Amino acid sequence: MIIPLLLIVLGVVLFVQSRRWPAAVQNVVLPGSVALVVLCLWHIGAAAQERPILPTPKLVAVALVNLVADGTLWRYVIASVFRVSVGFVLAAAVGIPFGLVVGWSTRAFTAFNPLVQGLRPISPIAWIPIAILLFGIGDGSAVFLIFLASFFPIVVGTMAAVRNISLVHVRSAQNFGLHGMELFRHVVFPASLPQIITSLRIALGVAWLVVVAAEMIAVNSGLGYMIIDARNQGMRYDLVVAGMLVIGAIGIVLDLGIRRLETFDEVRWGYAKR
């Protein structure tokens, strides 16, 4: 018990002292000290249980090493990322063109917007029974749920982006005689792209949330399945927490990946300078 307490003191001291250090060092020390304190508090809490149910950080680390060693983790990560990729790409492939058209045409907007707004607030989780009915237990259901989860943020974001295109740009386009596909290629699409990328980011985040839920019910592989299986097959909470940590880490990687889209010259104008 004395070591975690000392580490907490160390974390607090580092946090306070780092004020005087260079920014580059602070960028490492600040989040590092917070993580250290949280880990220690977790350890103290877990170790204080009368009947040990919640695992200590050390047990979780051992579980993670074992999962990596026997190859399960890798297999499950690939299964989850695969489902998210397929559902997300399908949603973008359908959602972006749909959003562009519905956002641009007043008639299409009047016709489709109420439907979109009505379906949007329904949690993808609520679709699970329908998904299983339509696609059975398996990848089909999971991909369908990911598709739904990402489709609405993409459509709503794209629609809003198109409707926000500045009147001056639309008039310039008309003035230079742009029509039809040319208008979409030179103006409507590039003008909406920054906001479309933001909606893709949101959609990917939601998709990653939903895949875990879908895998708990509709399939028997993937990180969500790993978590629910570890609990059902013998209360292996070390595996449950290990799975949670991996989900968080992959979520960060996915977000960093998609944020790279925001750095291209064609879209940089659309994001506030910081």
Partner 1 sequence: MSSDAPGRSKVVISSVSKDFSTRKGALSVLQEVSLDVREGEFMCLLGPSGCGKSTLLNIVGGFERPTSGRVTIDGEEVTGPDPRRVFVFQEYGIFPWASVWDNVALGLRKRDARERSRIVQATIDLVGLTGFEKSYPFELSGGMKQRVEVARALAVSPDVIYMDEPFGALDSLTRLTMRAELIRIWQSERKTIMFVTHDVDESLQLADRIVVFTSRPGRIAEVVTVGMSHPRELGSPEYAAVKNRLYDLLGVRHTV
Shortest distance (Å) from residue 172 CB to partner 1: 4
The whole-angstrom separation of Cα 73 and Cα 226 is 9
The whole-angstrom separation of Cα 179 and Cα 167 is 16
Q: Of the candidates 175, 232, 233, 263, which one interacts with partner 1 according to CB under 8 A?
A: 175
| Closest to partner 1 by CB, 50 or 266 | 266
Q: What tokens appear for 52 in the block?
A: 């040990």
Q: Determine if 164 is a binding residue for partner 1 (CB under 8 A).
A: no
Q: Give the DSSP per-residue string, 40-99.
A: HHHHHHHHT-SS--SPPHHHHHHHHHHHHHTTHHHHHHHHHHHHHHHHHHHHHHHHHHHH
Q: Determine if 268 is a binding residue for partner 1 (CB under 8 A).
A: yes
| Closest to partner 1 by CB, 169 or 231 | 169
177: left (phi over 0), alpha (psi -120 to 50) or beta: left
Number of Cβ within 10 Å of residue 82's Cβ equals: 16
Shortest distance (Å) from residue 78 CB to partner 1: 36
Helices (H) and strands (E) in the chain, counts: 13, 0
Q: Determine if 75 is a binding residue for partner 1 (CB under 8 A).
A: no
Q: Determine if 50 is a binding residue for partner 1 (CB under 8 A).
A: no
Determine the length of the chain: 274
Shortest distance (Å) from residue 177 CB to partner 1: 4
Number of Cβ within 10 Å of residue 66's Cβ equals: 14
Q: Of the candidates 166, 232, 233, 263, which one interacts with partner 1 according to CB under 8 A?
A: 166
Shortest distance (Å) from residue 227 CB to partner 1: 43
Q: Which stretch binds partner 1 (CB under 8 A): 46-54, 125-133, 172-180, 230-238?
A: 172-180
- Of 120, 118, 98, 96, nearest to 108 (Cα)? 98
Q: Of the candidates 172, 235, 253, 255, which one interacts with partner 1 according to CB under 8 A?
A: 172
Q: Determine if 263 is a binding residue for partner 1 (CB under 8 A).
A: no
Q: Determine if 270 is a binding residue for partner 1 (CB under 8 A).
A: yes
Q: Which stretch binds partner 1 (CB under 8 A): 83-91, 124-132, 222-230, 261-269?
A: 261-269
Q: Let me know the angle formed at the C-alpha of 32 by 212 and 35, rounded to the nearest 5 degrees.
A: 45
Q: For residues 150 and 95, is the Cβ–Cβ distance under 8 A? A: yes
Q: Determine if 171 is a binding residue for partner 1 (CB under 8 A).
A: yes
Per-residue x/- marks for partner 1, 183-222, CB under 8 A?
A: ---xx--xx-x-----------------------------
Binding site for partner 1 (CB under 8 A): 166, 168-169, 171-172, 174-177, 182, 186-187, 190-191, 193, 265-270
